[in-house]
């Protein structure tokens, strides 16, 4: 029994909740297959192999694309490598964004400058102190300038107010330096994001931290949603980030002037 307890403790310590779930799921599948009716010749081997390949794909880090190797050569770090218990859903590498297309191409991992990553580690530690049942769900990190131009052109807003939502690609923004991060809070076990009142990339006053009291009074936000946002802002500030007035999910590690002194724009 003592040996069993030690092995269980080691299993819990070594593997993250997501990886534990994958491994437990594979074990249950294998048990069900072994107890079920006798399959036709070769069927079990095919099913087990297929399932094994699926779980292995979850556990094995995806190979890095050329653009990612370039970012790593420039010194940037992948969130998935430094904080494996933080979830990443890179929105612009999918169709789940405000204009419905993948604009990141082969960029599938979320990268930040090392000093920015250190701040995110401190913010994550602050979150764990207060809510160990939660983790971060990261939507975006470094953003090449070429992608910034696509976002700028696709945003259906007058040029005079576009900078409220997307940095002018001619000047570059903090995402283009790898000095900003977009994220939310999520349940550690399920991976489901907390209710923040709006989705990521919602272009309306409901998404504005500066308008939260007004939106509460108008019944467009609930107190629970604003409380979730406040928690996110508090733990991010604990790590050294600052919030902005128009996007509850966006946090800056430095001012634009400071970032320009420290880093080069990512083309």
Q: How many helices (H) and strands (E) does the chain have?
A: 11, 7
Domain definitions of the chain by residue range: 2-59, 66-262
* Second-level CATH architecture of 66-262: 2-Layer Sandwich (3.30)
pLDDT score recorded for residue 62: 61
Binding residues for Zn(2+): 175, 182, 250
Counting Cα atoms < 13 Å in the Cβ hemisphere of 252 gives 17
| Catalytic center residues | 247
pLDDT score recorded for residue 61: 54
- Spans of the chain below 50 pLDDT: 1-16, 18-60
Residue 138 · residue 182 · CB < 8 Å: yes
d(CA 226, CA 215): 10
Q: Quick check: pTM over 0.85?
A: no
> Which is it for strands 87-88 and 134-140: parallel, antiparallel or unpaired?
parallel
In the three-class reduction of DSSP (H, G, I as helix; E, B as strand; rest coil), residue 16 is classed as coil
How many degrees, rounded to 5, is the angle at CA 235 between CA 68 and CA 133?
A: 85
């Amino acid at each position: 029994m003592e040996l069993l307890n030690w092995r269980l403790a080691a299993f819990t310590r070594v593997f993250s909740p997501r990886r534990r779930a994958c491994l437990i799921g594979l074990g249950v599948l294998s048990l069900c297959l072994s107890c079920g009716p006798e399959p036709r010749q070769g069927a079990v081997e095919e099913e087990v192999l297929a399932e094994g390949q699926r779980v292995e794909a979850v556990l094995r880090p995806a190979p890095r694309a050329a653009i990612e190797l370039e970012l790593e050569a420039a010194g940037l770090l992948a969130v998935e490598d430094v904080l494996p218990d933080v979830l990443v859903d890179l929105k612009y590498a999918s169709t789940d964004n405000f204009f419905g297309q993948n604009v990141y191409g082969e960029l599938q991992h979320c990268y930040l400058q090392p000093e920015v990553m250190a701040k995110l580690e401190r913010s994550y530690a602050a979150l764990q102190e207060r809510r160990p049942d939660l983790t971060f769900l990261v939507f975006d990190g470094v953003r090449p300038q070429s992608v910034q131009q696509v976002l700028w052109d696709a945003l259906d807003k007058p040029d005079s107010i576009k900078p409220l939502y997307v940095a002018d690609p001619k000047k570059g923004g903090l995402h283009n330096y790898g000095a900003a991060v977009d994220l939310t809070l999520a349940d550690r076990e399920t991976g489901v994001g907390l209710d923040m009142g709006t989705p990521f990339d919602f272009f309306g006053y409901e998404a504005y931290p500066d308008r939260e009291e007004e939106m509460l009074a108008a019944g467009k936000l609930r107190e629970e949603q604003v409380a979730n946002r406040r928690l996110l802002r508090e733990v991010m500030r604990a790590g050294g980030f600052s919030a902005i007035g128009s996007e509850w999910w966006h946090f800056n590690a430095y001012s634009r002037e400071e970032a320009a002194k420290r880093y080069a724009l990512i083309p």
